[in-house]
């Protein structure tokens, strides 16, 4: 069994730590018949304590690993391994899907070691922890907004880091999710005949999330709502924008048919 002092490697490998390791650990979950391990204070040297924590992580017991990494810092706060243990604790909580504790541990690491070489990963881990909590579009999107803020922070602070590309990809997915929420609310208003409220939601999509997959439908819905509001000139404008940017989409076909059916009304205005 190797000890921390025999290793001369970086603490965490980019991105893979949050993907491949997570997949491995999730397949190594303990059986329900095993007794739950209890954490009790026992004074131990830093090498054996850190190694025990890593062993628990390798075995798939991420919660116990996190507690042991916390214990490294508690028992040996001035050891060089205390800093590493802080971040490994955050990662262990992430693997255990205790995202709030993962965020708290990573934030604490950053508050104590803001200029550390592993700071980019700490920011990335915070972003991942928010991202993993994103709920479906029918629920409150506060966590989604927090994920977007955290992912944007990774890109802004560390644009050349290995984490920036993944953060950008996840940012696009988060924008799509937020646009989906606006569309879901807009469609609800539209079904209930609240045309102006619906239009505001669809406008939000094309103003704030125009690069998402929801933009073509938003343009079609704006065509619908403006016809319902008696503003055919605006409806015609949105249909034209839809045709110019998404000429082969089903939404343009629907908008074209709708405008054709309302041709006398449009001509009269």
Give pLDDT tens digits along the chain (269 positions).
Answer: 444 443 333 343 433 333 333 333 333 333 333 334 444 545 667 788 889 989 999 999 999 999 999 988 888 888 888 889 999 999 999 999 999 999 999 999 999 988 899 999 999 999 999 999 987 656 677 889 999 999 999 999 999 998 999 999 999 999 999 999 999 999 999 999 999 999 999 999 999 999 999 999 999 999 999 999 999 999 999 999 999 999 989 999 999 999 998 766 555 55
Whether 236 maps to a domain, the answer reads yes
In a domain? residue 241: yes
Distances, alpha carbon 195 to alpha carbons 2, 189, 201, 255, in Å: 67, 7, 10, 17
Q: Residue 92's domain spans which residues? A: 39-96
Side-chain-facing half-sphere of 114: CA atoms under 13 Å: 2
Enter the tokens of residue 229.
């509001």
Count of domains forming the chain = 2
Asked if 259 contacts 266 with a C-beta cutoff of 8 angstroms, the reply is yes
- Of 53, 70, 96, at which residue does a domain stop? 96
Structure confidence by residue, pLDDT tens digits, 200-236: 999 999 999 999 999 999 999 999 999 999 999 999 9
The answer as to whether 8 is a domain residue is: no
């Amino acid at each position: 069994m190797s000890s921390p002092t025999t290793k001369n490697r970086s603490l965490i490998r980019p991105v893979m730590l949050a993907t491949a390791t997570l997949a491995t650990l999730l397949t190594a979950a303990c059986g329900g018949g095993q007794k739950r391990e209890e954490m009790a204070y026992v004074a131990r040297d830093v090498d054996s304590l850190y190694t025990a924590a890593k062993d628990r992580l390798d075995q798939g017991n991420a919660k116990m690993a996190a507690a042991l990494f916390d214990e490294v810092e508690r028992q040996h706060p001035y050891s060089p391994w205390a800093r590493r243990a802080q971040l490994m604790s955050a990662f262990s909580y992430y693997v255990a899907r205790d995202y709030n504790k993962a965020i708290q541990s990573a934030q604490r690491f950053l508050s104590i070691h803001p200029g550390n070489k592993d700071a980019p990963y700490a920011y990335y881990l915070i972003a991942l922890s928010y991202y993993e909590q994103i709920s479906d579009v029918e629920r409150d999107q506060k966590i989604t907004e927090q994920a977007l803020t955290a992912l944007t922070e990774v890109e802004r602070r560390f644009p050349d880091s290995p984490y920036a590309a993944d953060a950008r990809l996840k940012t696009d997915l988060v924008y799509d999710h937020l646009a989906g929420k606006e569309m879901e609310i807009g469609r609800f208003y539209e079904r209930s005949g609240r045309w102006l409220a619906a239009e505001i939601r669809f406008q939000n999509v094309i103003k704030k999330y125009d690069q998402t997959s929801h933009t073509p439908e938003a343009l079609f819905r704006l065509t619908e709502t403006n016809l319902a509001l008696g503003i055919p000139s605006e409806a015609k404008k949105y249909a034209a924008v839809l045709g110019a940017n998404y000429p082969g989409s089903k939404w343009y076909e629907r908008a074209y048919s709708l405008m054709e059916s309302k041709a006398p009304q449009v001509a009269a205005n």
